[in-house]
Structure formats: C-alpha cells, structure tokens
Amino acid sequence: MRIAQIDRATKETQIKLSLNLDGKGENEINTGCGFLDHMLTLFARHSRIDLKVVCNGDTEVDYHHTSEDIAICLGKAIKDALGEKKGINRYADIMLPMDESLILCAIDISGRGGLYYTLNIPSYRVGDFDTELCEEFFMALARESGITIHLKSLAGTNSHHIIEGAFKAFARCLKEAVAIDEKYKDEIPSTKGVI
C-alpha cells in the first residue's frame, strides 16, 4: 500500500496528516477553516485518496499559515507515498466544468515541482477565506510534492465555483497520474530511470 504520515509542528501550526493513495476517498478533515475543510473533503473524494488532516493553527491571525502548512504536509505525504514512482501514469490533464466555471488542469509527477497558475478569481474572499490563499496552497503543494501543476480558469464568475473547480480538477488529475499501469508496473516512467 502506498501510504504516508506527516507530523509537523511549528510556532504557527501543529498538523497531523495521513493518506493512502490507493484508498476510496474516505476522509476526516479538521483544519479550523470551514472552506478549506470543504476543499480537502472534495479533493479526497475526487482523487479517491483516503485523507486525514488535523490542524491547530493560528487562525486568530488568518488562514495563511494553516493553508500553506497543510499543503506542505500534503505535498510531502504524496511524495513519500509514491516512493520510486514505479509504474505510475505520471501525466494527467482535465478540463473540468463547475457550473459556469471551466478549469483546465494538467500535471506531471516530474520531481521538479512548479506551479503555473492563472485562475481569475473575482472576489477577495469566499466566506472568511482569502482567495489568494488558493495560489499559496497549490504553490506549496507543487514544491513539496515535486509535481508540475498547471491550473487555468477558462471561464467563471463565481469565486467559490472557480476554487472548487480547481481542487476537483487537481484531484481528478492526481487520481489518474498516480494510478499504476499494470503493463509497466516495474518501470519508472522516465528515460532517466529515476524521477
């Protein structure tokens, strides 16, 4: 089984996160931020990754440290669970509709994490969640996981829908990219022989 657990404690956040890449999308999420709980819940369901996250953060300041530090832990856990990456599909892409919004996501589990992000989010906040934290989340996730992530909004006027579409699109891509191709289960999908 491809599983990982990360415990991370700083002066700003204390996080316990565990995942199973070969799960069913079961999840227990408690971040202290309702909107982030919602995004991580739907991420788990759409990626079919079992995910548990508990975070005690300095939410009296704002949700910046909580969002970024959870993404750091999630990225590290994905990287750890993938191990040598033998047999994975590696690449995936999707064009995902979420009501009026349309999100393009493409990923490469390359070992060279990078975020290429052009989501046009019209409002500054969704509830009490600063929408700029969406980019911070995916930036930390890309960096720590070693995944190249392209996220682009092709249409959309509702900020909640755009962000939700981005999380769902990434989840669907990750589900495909981490899946094992049985024909090549003993091969690393790179001409270098290592990712």
- Residue ranges of domains in the chain: 3-184
pLDDT band at 193 (very low <50, low <70, confident <90, very high): confident
Q: What is the pLDDT of residue 191?
A: 85
**161 vs 97, 100, 102, 126, CA distance in Å?**
9, 8, 9, 10
What angle separates helix 64-82 from helix 132-145, to the nearest 10 degrees?
30
Q: What is the pLDDT of residue 194?
A: 86
* Largest separation between any pair of C-alpha atoms in the chain: 51
Name the nearest CA neighbour of 7 among 77, 87, 83: 77
State what percent of residues in the chain have pLDDT above 70: 100
Rounded distance between C-alpha atoms, residue 164 and residue 4, angstroms: 25
Q: What is the pLDDT of residue 45?
A: 98
Q: Are strands 101-108 and 148-155 parallel, antiparallel or unpaired?
A: antiparallel
Number of neighbouring beta carbons within 10 Å of residue 99: 14
Lowest mean pLDDT among 84-98, 123-137, 157-171, 177-191: 177-191
Q: Are strands 91-98 and 50-57 parallel, antiparallel or unpaired?
A: unpaired
Question: Quick check: 1 pLDDT over 90?
Answer: no
Question: Quick check: 129 pLDDT over 90?
Answer: yes
Class (C level, CATH) for 3-184 = alpha beta
Rounded distance between C-alpha atoms, residue 86 and residue 82, angstroms: 8
Q: What is the pLDDT of residue 163?
A: 98
Mean pLDDT, residues 101-127 taken together: 97
Mean pLDDT, residues 67-86 taken together: 98
| Model-wide pTM > 0.95 | yes
Rounded distance between C-alpha atoms, residue 165 and residue 144, angstroms: 22
Question: Quick check: 93 pLDDT over 90?
Answer: yes
Mean pLDDT, residues 170-183 taken together: 97
pLDDT band at 140 (very low <50, low <70, confident <90, very high): very high
Q: What is the pLDDT of residue 150?
A: 98
Average pLDDT, the chain: 97
Q: Which residues of 27-51 are buried (b: 16+ CB within 10 A; e: fewer)?
A: bebebbbebbbbbbbbbbbbbbbbb
Question: Quick check: 97 pLDDT over 90?
Answer: yes
